[in-house]
Amino acid sequence: MCGIVGYIGHRPAVPILLNGLKRLEYRGYDSAGVAVLRNGQIEVRRKAGKLRVLIEEVARNPLEGMVGIAHTRWATHGEPIDRNAHPHVNPHRTLAVVHNGIVENFLALREELESEGVTFASDTDTEVIVHLIDRHMQAGRSLVEAAREALRMLKGSNAIVVLSAQEPDKLITARLGNAGGIVIGHGEDGEMFVASDLPAILEHTRRVTFLEPGQMAVVTREGAQVFTLEGEPVAVEITTVPWDITAAEKGPYKHFMLKEIFEQPRALMDTIAGRVDFRTGEIAFSTLPLTSEQARSISKIHMTACGTAYHTTLVGKVLVERLARIPVETMIASEFRYADPIVDESMVVLAVSQSGETADTLAAMHEGKQKGATLWSIVNVIGSQAMRIADGYISMQVGPEISVASTKAYTAPLVDLYMLAVQLGFLRGRITPEERLELVEHLQYVPGWVEQVLSRAEAIHQVAFKYRHMRHCFYLGRGINMATAYEGALKLKEISYIHAEGYPAGEMKHGPIALLDEDMPVIAVIPQDPWYEKMLSQVEQAKSRGAPVIAVATEGDERIADLADEVFWIPKVPWMLSPVVAIVPLQLFAYYIAAELGLDVDQPRNLAKSVTVE
């Protein structure tokens, strides 16, 4: 996960910045860098590898200054080498930028800048931000105006900090969307801090301002001024962070679940970062290295997990079977362990687990191991057992998930499974390099698509308010989105205690349809996927029995607009990635119902975050 730290004050900036980066190390990165301003000059040190490599470099070639920015990077555009590490500077070294996120229109902007004669020194998308600001400043704009103009040209979810030698007494920072947060720390005696995450600055101050999406700030020794991207001033709200770091992490959100839902654009970006190269389409998992020979020798994959994690495997099965043509069996871990499953040395047992400590999942892994299978896992908690006992693993990169109801640890492994399926397909010769590039290219838009759904949270809140007193409901889906129906139902039942049943829509006619009437709302997951027409007839059947229908559908779908009572709109996305986007309105729906009912959203009754007993 990329990390950002910025400082302006009267003390040497470098130790403060490097220390801040250390506090963010747990999030993972592949390179690091720092830039400071001294006597009208920006000086930069950047190094691929661990932070200690940068610290050694700074010890060899010291840097001094009382204003600076620093960054830890997870590669997205361009490999993790020194020249792709942040901060990025313009040729005259008068501007430096650090950035978290993905500039979606990076290629178009880069081509435009190159046609104007700009030479790029890195492969990153970040560098376009530097040149755009530079261009506006050369046209006579102030730093704030130039930054604002540049930011308005960027598409995607991004967080940035800018340092300028021409206006040395300020830092500019901005948050565009949810892929990267920005927190401003108000210190004592003319010291101010900027960071992507609270832990980086908490040792200096507990008085902080969180930027909202679409806001930018000018940070000077005297304080911070916040503006919208249109330049309208916004009142600066200072929150005092309590000493309890867990509570501190909740930030402005009422519950962790809501915070974690909103963290998904960033979590997804971090999931993709460091693994794919959008230019070549290459995919690499450093902890699950795969050769073509290995990929070709797999006769079957058994996917196993519990709860929310199990639902990810249902999507994983569709993806791996379609893209890699490897047969996949999914089984709930508590069943797998006692099923005497048919497993041999040519097979893989793949476990998905947020905690990596779920007893049933670990037992299923042991069962697979005993029978000679290769063990893989997709796990969030670093160092957990499911990570340690696996022959190869993918770490989820979503950061700590505190709410018992899992959200970001659902969508991130969906993307991991997508990348894994694409890679297996490629290595087995089922996908050409061109097809792989196209499948990989779609990934860069995923954080932005989720962002779009989140921007409609209030509309979902209103529907949730209307339906908060229902006692029963069905969630229906088919194909790749059958899992979305199961997961949507699980979210609702676990935190609101409303009976919600996730069902394969085509199975309704074999019994459950008898339950449908005006008191049984149906939540239909019906994006534009290959099962769309089939789902549409299920929705018609539900309507004809008087059931109120809430649909999750694709923008512009007029048939659904006419048919359903309520619609949660999602953007048009490739069907293989639709589960990642379609679940988000259902997470919000469940959350708002439980919150409106005044329930303990983060700690629902009878449930535990990690079930380490049978």
In the complex, the residues that contact ligand G6P under the rule CB under 6 A are 306-309, 353-355, 358, 361, 404, 406, 607, 609-611
Report how far residue 405's alpha carbon sits from residue 594's, in angstroms, rounded to the nearest whole number. Answer: 12
Q: Shortest Cβ contact with ligand G6P: which residue?
A: 307
Least distance between ligand G6P and beta carbon 474 (Å)? 21
Peptide bond into 579 cis (omega under 30): no
CB of 406 or CB of 554, closer to ligand G6P: 406
Least distance between ligand G6P and beta carbon 420 (Å)? 17
- In the residue annotation, 259 being an active-site residue is answered as no
Residues whose CB falls within 8 Å of the CB of residue 455, separated by 6 or more in sequence, listed in order? none
- Cα 382 to Cα 284, 414, 485, distances in angstroms: 19, 18, 29
How many CB atoms neighbour CB 159 within 10 A?
26
Least distance between ligand G6P and beta carbon 403 (Å)? 9
- Cα 376 to Cα 127, 281, 304, 399, distances in angstroms: 37, 23, 10, 20
CB of 105 or CB of 610, closer to ligand G6P: 610
Report how far residue 443's alpha carbon sits from residue 432's, in angstroms, rounded to the nearest whole number. Answer: 17
CB of 119 or CB of 606, closer to ligand G6P: 606
CB of 123 or CB of 270, closer to ligand G6P: 270
Structure tokens at 162: 């800018």
- Cα 100 to Cα 57, 74, 94, 174, 370, distances in angstroms: 23, 9, 21, 11, 43
CB of 304 or CB of 538, closer to ligand G6P: 304
Least distance between ligand G6P and beta carbon 91 (Å)? 48
Can you list the positions of beta strands (E) in 306-451? 328-332, 347-353, 374-379, 392-395
Q: Alpha helix (H) ranges present in 468-577?
A: 482-496, 532-544, 558-563
Least distance between ligand G6P and beta carbon 391 (Å)? 19
DSSP 574-599: -GGGHHHHHHHHHHHHHHHHHHHTT-
- Locus of tokens 């073509």: 292
CB 487 within 8 A of CB 500: no
Report how far residue 77's alpha carbon sits from residue 154's, in angstroms, rounded to the nearest whole number. Answer: 16
CB of 430 or CB of 609, closer to ligand G6P: 609
Identify the active-site residue in 2, 170, 317, 473. Answer: 2
Least distance between ligand G6P and beta carbon 450 (Å)? 19
- In the residue annotation, 473 being an active-site residue is answered as no
Identify the active-site residue in 50, 155, 300, 609. Answer: 609
Task: Give catalytic residue positions.
Answer: 2, 609
